[in-house]
Amino acid sequence: MLDLQTLRNDIQDVAAKLKERRNFVMDVDTFVSLESARKSIQSDTEQLQAKRNSISKDIGLAKKNGDDQKASDLMKAVGEFADQLKINEEKLSGIQSEIRDLLSGIPNLPHDSAPIGKTEEDNVEVKKVGAPRSYDFEPIDHVDIGEHLGALDFERATKITGSRFAVMLGGVARLHRAIAQYMLDIHTQRHGYTEIYTPYLVNADSLFGTGQLPKFEEDLFSIPISDEQSFYLIPTAEVPVTNLYRGEILTAEQLPTKFVCHTPCFRSEAGSYGRDTRGMIRQHQFDKVELVQFSHPDNSYEQLETLTGHAESILIDLDIPFRTVTLCTGDMGFSSAKTYDIEVWLPGQNAYREISSCSNFEAFQARRMQTRFRVGKGKTEFVHTLNGSGLAVGRTLIAVLENYQLKDGSVEVPQVLQSYMGGMELIEPS
RNA sequence: GGAGAGGUGGCAGAGUGGUUGAAUGUGGCGGUCUCGAAAACCGUUGUACGUGCAAACGUACCGAGGGUUCGAAUCCCUCUCUCUCCGCCA
């Protein structure tokens, strides 16, 4: 959510920036007319409320003094504007919720350092680490590797549930677990994150807080629990972890607070039919190790750099080539002010594919969640929130399988993961 | 799942229709005293929004949302959470 005061003061400026950078057309006229209506109705309403409150106090006093005549005269006086007050109050709350609805559908303003562009073609590469290795055979993709190993079973997953699910077996299932364990250990021990375990089902308020609702409900799996309430399967650990401090006021000393959380993620992938239908790239369910930070506004951009570095370090340790790009303004998520994507090299696709997305949301989520901090006894201020995948476990598994494949169809276990695999150095066909 | 009891300020805990944004205690902050500290005493101590250059004034908020009333922390309804007992269960 953008700052309402800023919108009131600089609506044209904000609208121009949103158009230029996000190709988002803001309904300025509606906003301006709602605001001016709000202003006059609120002022009228509060004046009437003040009048009613003061007369009501006098009624109390009159009754206390036994002056029933005066009391009933005063009650009559209130009656003269009671209807008007009620109408005003209803109008006001209607307008306020319209303003809120409008506001909650406006995406975040990109940071000045985010490159302006429309599609992923306009993303800017900032870093390229490691060179794709050369193979003396034609590298195959993880689906074929999994098949050779007898360790990936998409058909049975489809039978059990449906398309876009996977079953992993034996060494590959263990490798998947090892990758998650390894990432958690690195981020807690080397990078100072606190491990956190959270619910996988969240309520609508939490999804509003991080920006998935109200606009992107079709991307979520929901579970109705009563006529008026649903729980939602988390699309990312960002949702429960960031909402940890929803509605709370932190102290400045608590910043930055850093959490790492391993969860499954559930996405309906509506609107992506036909894309990445082969293999594990795009699933309804996948595991992810997520990094979340609550930061002081003054250094959230430095924190974004270090957080991105934390995610990259996993690929460096695994010795898998990757590149990091700054997303252009047109390719960024709704809530983000700046995003780096880390793209891992997949020999089976002969391409770099997204494995992590690291974003600074500035106060956009904090404002929706009402997460603030206080300096000493001073005024409260919104925190900045950041998060990044560190990394997507399923895609890391794919990257390991494809980058470490051997000619005979077996797969080497990366050095750093061997201790998590009971010393196993090679995954062979079962 | 059944029965009962409750959600009040950082915390504890009063308050069942009328100057109650809320007693009292405690914690926090400022001060007096002291070489300093403790103790004691005095003062202060929530959030958000609106109008305003500001000072200030006003409005809303006692789990959430509705309702009754001139007036609601207090009465009514719905939801939610916590606790106790029973049942079930990893």
A224 is near strand B: CB distance < 7 Å: no
Could you confirm whether A282 is annotated as catalytic? yes
Which 145-164 positions of A have CB less than 7 A from strand B?
none
At residue A376 the predicted structure's pLDDT band, cuts being 50, 70 and 90, is low
Q: Average pLDDT, stretch A338-351?
A: 96
The nucleotide whose C1' lies nearest the CA of A79 is: B70
Distance (Å, rounded) from C-alpha A264 to C-alpha A91?
44
Which residue, chain included where needed, has tokens 């490159």? A115
**Worst-scoring range by mean pLDDT, A148-157, A209-218, A348-357?**
A209-218
Q: Average pLDDT, stretch A49-76?
A: 87
What pLDDT, in 10s, does the model give residues A295-321? 999 999 999 999 999 999 999 999 999
Residue A238 has pLDDT above 80, yes or no: yes
Q: Average pLDDT, stretch A13-37?
A: 91
Q: Which residues pair with A194 in a beta bridge?
A: A259
Protein CA at A426 to nucleotide C1' at B56, angstroms? 76
Could you confirm whether A354 is annotated as catalytic? yes
Domains and CATH numbers, chain A: 27-104 (1.10.287.40), 120-427 (3.30.930.10)
The nucleotide whose C1' lies nearest the CA of A5 is: B49
Residue A240 has pLDDT above 90, yes or no: yes
Nearest 5°: the CA angle A412, A416, A421 is 65
Could you confirm whether A21 is annotated as catalytic? no
CA distances from A353 to A133, A322, A325, A388 (A): 16, 9, 11, 16
At residue A377 the predicted structure's pLDDT band, cuts being 50, 70 and 90, is low
Radius of gyration of chain A (CA): 27
**Worst-scoring range by mean pLDDT, A213-222, A373-382, A411-420?**
A373-382
Q: List the one residue out of A9, A235, A240, A21 whose CA is nearest residue A109.
A: A21
A314 SS3 class: helix
Task: Round the average pLDDT of chain A to a whole number and report it.
Answer: 92
Q: Average pLDDT, stretch A218-235?
A: 87
Q: Average pLDDT, stretch A402-416?
A: 96
A78 is near strand B: CB distance < 7 Å: yes
Residue A337 has pLDDT above 70, yes or no: yes
At residue A229 the predicted structure's pLDDT band, cuts being 50, 70 and 90, is confident
Cα pseudo-dihedral A332, A336, A340, A341, rounded to 10 = -50
Q: List the one residue out of A328, A321, A331, A357 whose CA is nearest residue A342.
A: A357
Show the DSSP H helices in A108-188 as ranges.
142-149, 154-160, 170-185
Distance (Å, rounded) from C-alpha A389 to C-alpha A408?
32
Protein CA at A238 to nucleotide C1' at B10, angstroms? 29
What pLDDT, in 10s, does the model give residues A352-373? 999 999 999 999 999 999 888 8
Cβ(A132)–Cβ(A347) below 8 Å: yes
A140 SS3 class: coil
Q: Which residues pair with A352 in a beta bridge?
A: A345
Q: How many CB atoms lie within 10 A of CB A425?
A: 11
Could you confirm whether A428 is annotated as catalytic? no
